[in-house]
Homo-oligomer: A and B are copies of this chain.
Amino acid sequence: MITYNPKDWFTFIFRFHKADTLRQLSPLIIAICIYSWVITFLELHIFMLSKNSHITNITTMHTLLSFVISMLLVFRTNTAYDRWWEGRKLWGSLVNNSRNLAIKLQSMLPVEEEAHRAFFRKTIPMYASVLAHHLHAESTRLALDEQEHTELNLDSNRHMPNQVASMLMQRVNRLYEEGKIKGDQLIILNNELLSFTDICGACERIKNTPIPFSYSVFLKKFIFFYVMTLPFSLAISLGYLAIPVVAFIFYVLASLELIAEEIEDPFGSDENDLPMTKMASNIKKHVAEIIL
């Protein structure tokens, strides 16, 4: 993830960072420019269309639909941002949860129980790194796909985060049964132990459930037809100026869709994705500071 100073406008406007949509879209923008040039050339010099030609009024269509395409794309970006932010919240909870569990165990376990302390010092942060690994796996993304994916060999390997959560729960229960922690203490440890699995399930949900297929198809078809029909009317009213105008409109609409695509899955390895490995190592550092 890139942390930046939002007030440094100059850099934002004139540098072309790797994660900049302008850079990613530049081949397509060039293609659109060529396409617009062809249409303009044909309309102005081959068909010699005048300003009274019917084709100029196609702008009416673009105006009527400009609201709906704008709203759709802005909502699309917002929904994607909500998923991204929910992912960030879930990992934030994982951090809190690991810390709280460590703080509690530090105060409950007697100083001499070095073995148990070492176990928790290692296993609590392990959950985060196992989860990060689990979310990067292709098999997690395709868990609910309607097609079979035999190449992924899904059945042979166990669900690792569940195994770690189970280990933690069993150790706490053993401590309870050996009388090393009391019932009241077991009750207050319960929440943290549960949350691990809840967080894992919620991350899996974001990972394996993209926005509905027909919605995604519709949006892409809509942008495509909208931009492709733009030069027809603009060529007449704007002449060769239509080329940069169509390119700019395409840049805006496609950027929104592109940003949405990138951030709707916050557990990938894009520039904008969550730094899960970093967070897991932060958890490790903090837990080690707490459980002495």
> Which A residues lie at the B interface, using CB under 8 A?
1-4, 6-7, 9, 12-13, 17, 19-22, 54-55, 57-75, 77-79, 81, 84, 88-89, 92-93, 95-96, 99-100, 103-104, 106-108, 141-146, 155, 158-159, 162-163, 165-166, 169-170, 172-174, 176, 182-188, 190-191, 194, 197-198, 200-202, 204-205, 208-218, 220-222, 224-225, 229, 234, 237-241, 245, 248-249, 252-253, 255-256, 258-259, 261-264, 271-272, 275, 278-279, 282, 285-286, 289-290
Contact = CB atoms under 8 A, between A and B. Distances in A.
The 10 closest A-B pairs by CB, nearest first: A183-B184, A96-B201, A3-B145, A67-B70, A68-B70, A107-B173, A54-B239, A92-B205, A12-B220, A188-B190
Give the number of copies in the complex. 5
Given A20-B214, A106-B166, A107-B173, 10 more contacts: A4-B213, A6-B264, A12-B221, A54-B239, A66-B67, A68-B256, A75-B77, A75-B78, A163-B289, A187-B187
Contacts of A92: 201-202, 204-205
Contact of A286 (B84, B159, B190, B256): B159
10 contacts: A1-B144, A3-B142, A54-B239, A67-B71, A92-B205, A93-B201, A96-B201, A107-B173, A144-B278, A214-B259
Contact of A271 (B19, B93, B99, B214): B214
Contacts of A220: 9, 12-13
Nearest to A149: B3
Which secondary structure dominates where chain A touches chain B?
helix
Which of the listed residues A63, A214, A215 has the most CB atoms from chain B within 10 Å of its own CB?
Answer: A214
Given A68-B70, A185-B186, A205-B89, A216 B249 contact: no
B241 A107 contact: no
A108 B173 contact: yes
Contacts of A210: 3-4, 6
A75 B21 CA distance: 20
A31 to B, nearest CB: 12
A92 to B, nearest CB: 4
Which of the listed residues A6, A166, A248, A290 has the most CB atoms from chain B within 10 Å of its own CB?
Answer: A6
Contacts of A146: 1-3, 275, 278
